[in-house]
Amino acid sequence: MKLLYLPLLLLPLAGYSQSTKLEISLAQQVLPAAGSAFHFDKLVDARPDRTSIGSVHRGLDNHLVPATLGGSLETELTPMLRQALPAGPATRPLVVRIYTLAVHETITAMSETGSAEVEMDFLEATGPDTYRLLLSVSELVEGKGLDVTNKHPDNIRRALQQGLQRLAAAAPPASAPTLTWAQVLAGEEGALPRFPVQTQPLQRGIYRSFEEFRQNAPTLTAGPFELQRKTRKGAQWAGTEEVEAWYLHLSDDQPRRLVRGAWGLSDGQNAYIFFQGRYLPLQAADKYYSFTGHRQPDGSNVLAGAMLGGLAGAAIAGSIGTNQPQLYELRLASGRIATSLQPVGADGFAAADTAAIYLYRRADAGPAAPLRVLVDGKEAGQLGPGQYLAFSWRDKRRDMAICVQGEQEKCHTFMPLFGTTTFLACAPGSSTTAPTVQPVAAKEGLFQLKHIKAREKRPAN
């Protein structure tokens, strides 16, 4: 059958990622009472992207997959916030507004590090439709271990706890923005302010720390320096560069020396971060900077090296297969470096701002009548036995609703993963049972769609 456009964009089948996702539940986490003058009233999800909360490593090969919460942000956080901010005789209602909740993992031949990051606002109602911004915080919690993935729920709890402790210790603001509820929901006047590096011309110099970069205040203590730009070799690095930095005119017998021990540097036009032993150019975005570094070592190579040559072998193996580009994000609120799920130059992979969804129906023995399919209440096509429909989704703040109508109706509401593909299997039901719509593993979905396409190409008898 023909694939479908309608109000949604059709995407090609070939080349999509077959990754799965990891759901992180916070149901077992307990927040101690924060000793605050406030009690929890409402939670506002102001995240610009609700599709995932970061990426984690899974399997023996440590492949990267998206991480999501087991339920909605409200479902996962509300019980914890009520524990930490119970109502009392003199407490005042508090609105908690979340801008970022994210997890991240870094794996090397020698260690694993897991982190959780939370950006949030605390607001107090001052009238029927007015709210005062009390405090904005950004918290980063890190931990090392053999399996850091299992520690993410506790890391998230610790990050929330740190933010609540700051609220309990904070003095009332002398002046603060006052917002309407509509402005609160829209995320206005919140989270962290823009930093000087975002609002001022870049100052030339060497950054000794992330904070110097954020404040656009490099310190230069060892004399003038120059940059030597090096074009990266290999087709996969086309259009990218790295630089070497040299101190100049130190003495007659040492006219120059490599700049070492720096967080990064700026030539007054561009900023560079020192990462993986190289200075790499930073590209400004909204709340973060991005840069292209080397992909982290394949876990199977690290494991093989460790088995062959102990820790030294693991260190050597850690460099195997890393001459491939990987997009990274530098979060300005916390200084955290996050791995982007979208590989650089992955031909045919779904765009980072687009989710691909395939809904298919096997050539089952159920009723032959086609099923009516609706997306967000609008008819999107008919689905007969051995057919499929393909859609895309670009709204990272709103769930997608797919409804299938036979003699009864079944709806499936979900947030698709962006930069990858979601496969949904549909069964027709009967006069007494509704159709079913079930997510399936990428491997199974891809197999079924290839089978359907092969049947379409067969000549009719």
Q: Name 89's bridge partners.
A: none
Q: pLDDT tens digits, residue range 124-154?
A: 999 888 999 898 888 889 888 878 889 999 9
Least confident range from 120-124, 184-188, 247-251, 258-262: namely 247-251
Higher pLDDT, residue 225 or 42: 42
Taking the mean position of all CA atoms in its chain, how far away is CA 278? 24
Domain check: are 452 and 335 in the same one? no
Residue 109 lies in domain: 22-191
Residue 347 has pLDDT above 70, yes or no: no
Residue 299 has pLDDT above 70, yes or no: no
Residue 279, classed as helix, strand or coil, is: strand
Which CATH number fits the domain that encloses residue 422?
2.60.40
Among 302, 319, 346, identify where a domain stops: 346
Q: What is the chain's mean pLDDT, rounded?
A: 79
Domains in the chain, number:
3
Domain check: are 58 and 172 in the same one? yes
Q: What's the rounded mean pLDDT across residues 192-211?
A: 85
Q: Count Cβ neighbours within 10 Å for each residue of 7-29 and write b for 16 or more, e otherwise.
A: ebeebebeebbebbbbebebeeb
Q: Is residue 4 part of a domain?
A: no
Asked if residues 366 and 336 have their Cβ atoms less than 8 Å apart, the reply is: no
Residue 403 has pLDDT above 70, yes or no: yes
Among 191, 213, 244, identify where a domain stops: 191
Domain check: are 157 and 199 in the same one? no
Cα 165 from Cα 135, distance rounded (Å):
12
pTM above 0.85, yes or no: no
Residues of the chain by 3-state class (helix, strand, coil), percent to 5: 20, 40, 45
Domain check: are 171 and 203 in the same one? no
Domain check: are 117 and 201 in the same one? no
Cα 208 from Cα 277, distance rounded (Å):
15
The dihedral sign for the CA sequence 236, 239, 244, 245: negative
Helix (H) and strand (E) counts in the chain:
7, 27
Residue 43, classed as helix, strand or coil, is: strand
Choose the most confident range, by mean pLDDT, from 156-170, 222-236, 280-294: 156-170
Among 152, 173, 191, identify where a domain stops: 191
